[in-house]
Every structure is written in C-alpha cells, then in structure tokens.
Structure 1
C-alpha cells in the first residue's frame, strides 16, 4: 500500500487498530440511541481522548461515514444469510426476525448516517433489504397467503414502520427486546394476511 507521496505506507500499530475499533464500536452504540451524540461523548465511551479520535477520524462526517458503511455491510451480510426458501409466511417470519435484530442494534444510526452519506448511498442501503421483502410479498400474493387488494409499496411501508416502531417502543420501555421479534412478526403477518389465510 502506498502513501500519497508514493512511499510505502506503514501498517497501523496494534494499539492504533484497537483504538479505531473502540471508536467505531462506541460511535455505533451511541449513535444508535442518539443520532446527535457528540464526538466528546463518543471519545469518552471509547476510552480515548479527543486528540486520539481526531487522529483517526478528521471530522464527525468521516466517522459517521465509516460507522454507516460498516453497519450497511454488516446488515447486508446478515440478511443475505437468511433462508428465504419455502413457505412465504415462514420465510418472511425469518427475515423479519433478522431485520428486527438489525433495526434494534442500529436504531437511530440511520438518522445520523443521513448527515454523512449521499442520497444515492442511502437509497442503495435501503434497496436490497426492500427487494427481499418485496420478493416474498409477491410470492405470498401469488400463493394466496398475502393480501393483493392494496399496493405492494404500501405493504413494504407498513413492514418498515412496524420494525422501526418496535425499536422505538423498546427504547421507550413499552415492550422488551425479547418480546419485540414475536410482536413484529405477529403484527406484520396479521396486516398482510388475507381473511381466510391460516
């Protein structure tokens, strides 16, 4: 790897790599709960000083971009591992459970990311997860399991609203994180199912 002047860039020391990971992990935790968390709060949570934080991330936007890109990559990997074969209701249940875990983990990070990512990057981050749900909704409609008397885009919006609503309800203490996946699944399937669906 070459530095800008053409010289070989030195690999980061182990302690520098540990600090970077601590900063990114702390930023992820704090921004998931509060999108306006300050760099001072993030540095304190990471156990480093502001000078150390700025040594690795020269601005809040740079840190937000790194945190958001990692969250997007992690989410895409986890959702890509969900088994979507078989009965569309059961497959959607598995996808909703995985989506809930990610929504709860990253929470308000989406709001913070909107300050650092371009509209195109944000759109891409939502497109693939939405495409998975859309494909399952289409299969369920064809199988007579899901309603087809409302626009599929509206159904997608309902699913997203329920996921984000559950995350907010957990943060407010209205439901527990343990109960949330079951409540999300039951509520979404009740909203999507045709009247005579099992």
Structure 2
C-alpha cells in the first residue's frame, strides 16, 4: 500500500515539468518579440505577452538580466547554426571575410534591438562569451589570411578578432542612434574591416 501511495503522490510531477517547459518556451518567445520591438520592454510586459504572471516568470528567470541572458543564448545558438553553414574555406581570405561580414551582419541586424537590450542588461564579458563560437571562426579566418599573406601580421590575432566583434556591435548602436543607415552597414563594415586587416 505504501508503494502505491508514493506513486499516487508523485504522479503529477511529469505534468508539472511539462507545464514549466511550456511556460519557459512561452516566456522566451514573448521576450524575444518584446525586446526586439523595444529593448526597454519591462518584465511585466513580457509576462503579459507570454500569458503568465510575474511570479511565474520570476520563478524561471529570477531577474531581468537572467531573462535577457537566456533569450540572447537562444538567439546566438541559432546564429551559430546559420554562420556555420557559410562555405568560406575554399574562398581567398579577403573574399571570405567579406562574405562572413555580410552573413554576420544579416544575423545581427535581424536581432539588432535585442543586442541593444543585451548591452544594457549584461556585461560586455558575458556578451563576448556568447560569441565564442562565431569569434573562433573569425580567428581561424584571420590566421588563414595571415598565412596567405593577405592579412597583416604586425598586430595580434586576438586584437583583430576584437576589432571585428566591436565594429559589428558598434554598427548596431550607430543604426539605433540614427547615425548609420542600415542599408549601408554591411558595405561600411566590410570596407572598414578589410582596410584594418589587409597586409600593407
């Protein structure tokens, strides 16, 4: 009888887990939409859009920062899959850089306002951590370009990688501030980075 009773008591657990997973998915989806529309969207707005209460939202994400972090992680996972599909290895390094800038900017521009929200909520180091895989691809490309004699060797690879990362993020901020036309961003980035990386 005791065994039967224990089973009866613990039976709702899978349903609770399923409910929690549905709530988390709804919250992340609502947060992505809300922050992409307005980087300053409040937790209350996100909870309302997700169809949950603030207590439920905070039960899964104890702070706005943790929620933004989770949304950003989800987006970066999708971005990595997109960038990994780019066929860069057979292209000359300079051409591959232009292609990578274009594809990276396309992904970043799609989530430009989410990046603004991340910049406001997360540390620069945390945002950089979520870019580890894409930046490793940039690092490999720069190293190959140096081997080919196409890219400069007088500056550390790590500095050139940071330049790539910083300029893409700066472009998003400049567009948000109205100082750069989004239609010009990919071309401006390519010209700037090629100028910075090209061997003398």
* Band the TM-score falls in, shorter-chain normalisation: 0.7 to 0.9
* Pairwise CA distance, 1:156: 1.2
* Pairwise CA distance, 1:108: 2.6
- Larger of the two Rg values belongs to structure: 2
Which ranges of 4 or more aligned residues in structure 1 deviate by more than 4 Å? 19-22, 32-36, 121-124
CA distance, structure 2, for counterparts of residue 12 and residue 55 of structure 1: 18
Give the structure 1 partner of residue 47 of structure 2. 43
Q: 2:142 aligns with which of 137, 142, 158?
A: 137
Tell whether 2:173 aligns with 1:168.
yes
- Aligned-residue CA RMSD (Å): 3.2
Decide which structure has greater helix share: 2
Tell whether 2:119 aligns with 1:111.
yes
1:107-131 deviation per Cα after TM superposition (whole angstroms, max 9, x unaligned) = 134436737xxx7x76652322121
Unaligned runs of 5+ in 2: 1-8
Give the structure 2 partner of residue 77 of structure 1. 81
TM-score (norm: length of structure 2): 0.73
* Pairwise CA distance, 1:74: 1.0
Classify 1:148/1:24 alpha carbon distance in 2 versus 1 (closer, same or farther; 3 Å).
Answer: same
The count of aligned residue pairs is 183
* Pairwise CA distance, 1:26: 3.4
Unaligned runs of 5+ in 1: none
3-state SS of 1:23 partner: helix
TM-score (norm: length of structure 1): 0.74
Contact 2:47 2:57 in 1 (8 A): no
* Pairwise CA distance, 1:29: 4.2
